[in-house]
Amino acid sequence: MSERANLLDFTLPRLTQWLAALGEKPFRARQVFRWIHQRGVDDFDAMTDLAKSLREKLGRTAEVRAPAVLSEHRSADGTVKWLFDVGIGNGIETVFIPEEDRGTLCVSSQVGCALACGFCSTGRQGFNRDLWEATRRGLRVTNVVMMGMGEPLNNFAPVVDAMSIMLDDHAYGLSRRRVTLSTSGVVPQIRKLKEALPVALAVSLHAPNDAIRSRIMPINDAYPIASLLAACRDYLEAAPRDFITFEYVMLEGVNDAPEHARELAKLLASLPSKVNLIPFNPFPDSGFERSSAERVRRFQKVLMDAGFVATVRKTRGDDIDAACGQLAGQVVNRMKARPIRLHSPSPRS
């Protein structure tokens, strides 16, 4: 293991502090930060506007080291999925979704996930420097969604640091509206995020009542719907958008009936919200099935008739297992040369 400081982990305030200890002024930190994040440079010798003595000092004590790319897959629809190496046998996945008017990077916040939602194949922790990698590869990232593997609010400090680098004008300069964090509903952490760094919020609701939600999402026992919606309402005071996005995965025969849509409309009636319906992406032994397009359309219509903005998420990259809920950090153990599934929660139906 290297003893050097990896500058990719540093927010600008942290880098400023770190360079101050070496006797350097704050504007040096901004210069180094821009070299790294805006120009994708990892070699201190190439940072030509720094004094030679500083370049040498950096060369001895620091490094810019992204995780190795274990694999790269390209979907027929242009979606790209990378598997990054984050340490012994662990991989995290990042997906780039190109669209006409934007490029969205879907970022994982943990290796797997401990929350074990029944319909999700992501099964536990780590963090990433994937925005840097994507930008260096010339991909135009205009939006970031923390919707990959893992529960971002359960990896709070690193996620907040990573998002603050995304937002920093000396790095990627994304606006808080263009960075969306998706959570399964860790209520106390939603309140913490409001204080620390309120970005656009998406909440995985997936059910119109506690009975159904607890059946498919164990976290609902700890933070039932009423407490979740109260936290959402409170979050809106600081949010960069004036609504919360509620994600709703459509599971055949579980939560996809018109009466569920009516119950959902009633539940969200007084909360500024948008609903994003997600067709379930199957994976082996999930125990769930995708709702038919017709059922999804009927559900959407009930919501729209009730005055909601309700969209259906397009499935992208499913031919390379890059669609929502299909990221499982599959790593090839080079010793045994066989794929390892990190964790697949057992179906809870």
# of chain residues touching ligand SF4 (CB under 6 A): 10
Residues 167-196 binding ligand SF4 (CB under 6 A) are 184
Q: Rounded to an integer, what distance in angstroms lies between the CA atom of residue 280 and that of residue 296?
A: 11
Nearest distance, CB of residue 324 and ligand SF4, angstroms? 9
Q: Comparing C-alpha atoms, which of 195, 199, 165, 166 is closest to residue 11?
A: 165
Distance of CA 170 to the CA centre of its chain: 22
Binding status of residue 113 toward ligand SF4 by CB under 6 A: yes
Closest CA to 281 of 246, 329, 255, 313: 313
Nearer to ligand SF4, 150 or 208 (CB): 150
Which candidate, 320, 313, 316, places its Cα nearest to that of 206? Answer: 313
279 close to 315: Cβ distance less than 8 angstroms: yes
Per-residue binding letters, 216-235, with ligand SF4 (x by CB under 6 A): --------------------
CB of 105 to ligand SAH, least distance (A): 14
Residue from 117, 275, 278, 303 in contact with ligand SF4 (CB under 6 A): 117
The interface partner of residue 116, options being ligand SF4, ligand SAH, none and the CB cut-off 5 to 8 Å by kind, is ligand SF4
CA distance 274 to 205: 12
Q: What angle do CA 220, 226, 229 make, to 5 degrees?
A: 95
Residues in contact with ligand SAH by CB under 6 A are 113, 119-120, 147, 150-151, 182-184, 204, 247, 249, 278, 280-281, 324-325
Query: Is-catalytic flag, 113?
Result: no
The catalytic position among 93, 133, 151, 247 is 93
Question: CB-based burial of residue 23 (10 Å sphere; 0-12 exposed, 13-18 middle, 19+ buried)?
Answer: exposed
DSSP 321: T
Which one, 120 or 165, has the nearer CB to ligand SAH?
120
Active-site annotation holds for 117? no
The residues of the shown chain that bind ligand SF4, judged by CB under 6 A, are: 113, 115-117, 120, 122, 150-151, 184, 204
Known catalytic residues? 93, 324
